[in-house]
Amino acid sequence: MRALTHFSVPIKGLKDGIHQYQIKIEDDFFNKFEKSIIKKGNFQIEIDLFKKSNHLEIDFKIDGTMKTDCDRCLAKIDLPVYGEHKLIVKFTVDEMNDEEEVWAITYDTHELILNKAIYEFVNLSVPLIKRYDCEFEDPRPCNLKATEFLDREYIEEEEEDIDDDNPFAQALRNIDLN
């Protein structure tokens, strides 16, 4: 595999077939984008480019971590981020267009700049809920006071939900499951 420089792929003269690239992106990459949700992170991007006579199929495999606050206990964590995405680039004689799901480039384009696609695909790979199973890490990054408090509050809420005046709830409690 070849390492990409400046996150661009040379298109002119590229033979039909599979071409593989690897990119490592870090904090300085995300700092170039305004209002990025990722401030600090390390990612390894594997790119498989399938060149055909009239289009390119580009597969992105994202693997890395980003620094963030845990949504459950608010501790600082290295959140694992994984993702697989596909980009189709078709060759056309018209003007270039990269605003849609399918990019269009002219036949005389010399290189394909992938900064925008990489940025978007990494951001799409970030889980909506920023937490993960960290029980097996040593030391465990969790704020244990916060998790104990949350667990206690959850148990108390379940106990309060039991309604003694409700005849249906009483009948359900009296059912023998054995």
94-97: long-range pairs with CB below 8 Å, 24+: none
pTM, two decimals, is 0.74
Please tell me the distance from the alpha carbon of residue 102 to that of residue 89, in angstroms, as a whole number. Answer: 6
Looking at the structure of the chain, the number of domains it has is 1
Residue pLDDT, tens place only, 63-119: 999 999 988 788 888 999 999 999 999 988 776 555 567 888 888 888 899 998 999
Give domain status of residue 87, yes or no: yes
Do the domain assignments include residue 104?
Answer: yes
Q: Is residue 178 part of a domain?
A: no
> Is 11 a member of any domain?
yes
Does residue 139 lie within any of the structural domains?
no
Q: By residue range, what is the domain housing residue 59?
A: 2-125
65 assigned to some structural domain? yes
pLDDT band at 3 (very low <50, low <70, confident <90, very high): very low
Reduced DSSP (H G I as helix, E B as strand, rest coil) percent helix, strand, coil of the chain, to 5: 25, 35, 40
